[in-house]
Amino acid sequence: MSTRDSPWNRWSRFAYLLQVVAVGALALAWAAIGIGLYSDRGADPRFELEAGGRFEANLAVYWPFLLVISPLLAVTGMFGLLPYRFAPGGTVVGGVVASLFAQWVGTELYLSDYKRELPGRLETSFGAACFAVAVAFTAAFLHLYSNRSGRTRVASIRGGAGLAVAILVSAWVTIPPLIAGSGTQSGVLAGFVTDPHCGRKVSDWTDEGRATVYKGDATTQSYPPKDMPDIRFGVVVTLRNGMGSVETTPPTAVSFRDELPFRSGPPATELLLSRPNTGNGFAFTRIRDPKCETGSNRVVSATYIYDDYGRTNTPQIRGTVSRSE
């Protein structure tokens, strides 16, 4: 076998060097996500996660990252270091997975409020994953065409067609979020999430520097149901400088006559005002399921819910409120 046809000729050695670089970029993409997720939380108490919010974040993001994504990237990275021409495929798969997971984390925007460092880390992960995929494809191309034997050349034609398809699919997954950044709806996952950015930040619900008022009507509901007619209320929810208050017409015990701090989700499409020692136990006022202006993240209407959790039943008031101009 001639030196030129040796698997370890100069092009093959260069291809393997690219494999190592690609795996390093994949490790950077993984590390950027982890550093962002485990960075210090912000100082703003409005974005502090309650127990239910922490459980949802663990279920949707943290546990999958630790138990699924990290082991998968470790396996694909080790596979990508093997000295074989098909090994770069492992790094390509890892880069696509890292980009998709970073996109998924980006749709959970309450985490971006809670972890202020997270959006920048996700953008780093997008870039590193895209770079890892591009370098791995370059290594795969060199492996395919570095050997000049006729048999390998015929096989390389078929391999090149598959490589072209893989490049197009990977580019579709990894490039759009890289261009748009973590704060913009983009990427393949955006099509599966209905208006994911509507109401996902507190600033979508409020007007800076002045009070924001939501008005509407609501009716009572009891669990278990009682043999009595529903009572209809007028509801006014006022948000101002990180505080909130609720008034009903006619006045009822559910009114929050004092301004109380409110919190954002999760779910991130919800604002929560809580008051302990209300009625039989504790009360929550929530405005959730927002509807936004076309082409904007500005909330114009939402569902209003009041829950008073007691020992025997759960009185609830539910309705729709709209933003007053």
For 122-142, what is each residue's pLDDT tens digit? 889 888 998 998 898 888 888
Average pLDDT over the chain reads 76
Q: Give the whole-angstrom CA distance, residue 140 versus residue 277.
A: 65
Asked if the model's pLDDT at residue 203 lies above 50, the reply is yes
Mean pLDDT over residues 169-175, rounded? Answer: 68
Closest CA to 132 of 11, 19, 35, 13: 19
Q: Give the whole-angstrom CA distance, residue 238 versus residue 18.
A: 58
Asked if the model's pLDDT at residue 212 lies above 80, the reply is yes
- Start-end of H helices in 108-149: 109-114, 118-145
Buried/exposed code over 197-224 (b: 16+ C-beta within 10 A; e: otherwise): bbbbbbebbbeeeeebbbbbebebbeee
Q: Do 260 and 244 meet the contact criterion of CB atoms below 8 Å apart?
A: yes
pLDDT digits over 14-49, tens only?
888 999 999 999 999 999 999 999 988 766 655 666
Buried/exposed code over 11-40 (b: 16+ C-beta within 10 A; e: otherwise): ebeebbebbebbbbbbbbbbebbbbbbeee
Report the pLDDT value the prediction gives residue 198, as an integer from 0 to 100: 76
pLDDT digits over 251-297, tens only?
766 666 566 666 655 555 677 776 655 544 556 778 888 888 887 88
Mean pLDDT over residues 169-187, rounded? Answer: 60
The residue written with tokens 């302990």 in the block is: 276
Q: Is this structure's pTM higher than 0.75?
A: no
Mean pLDDT over residues 52-81, rounded? Answer: 88
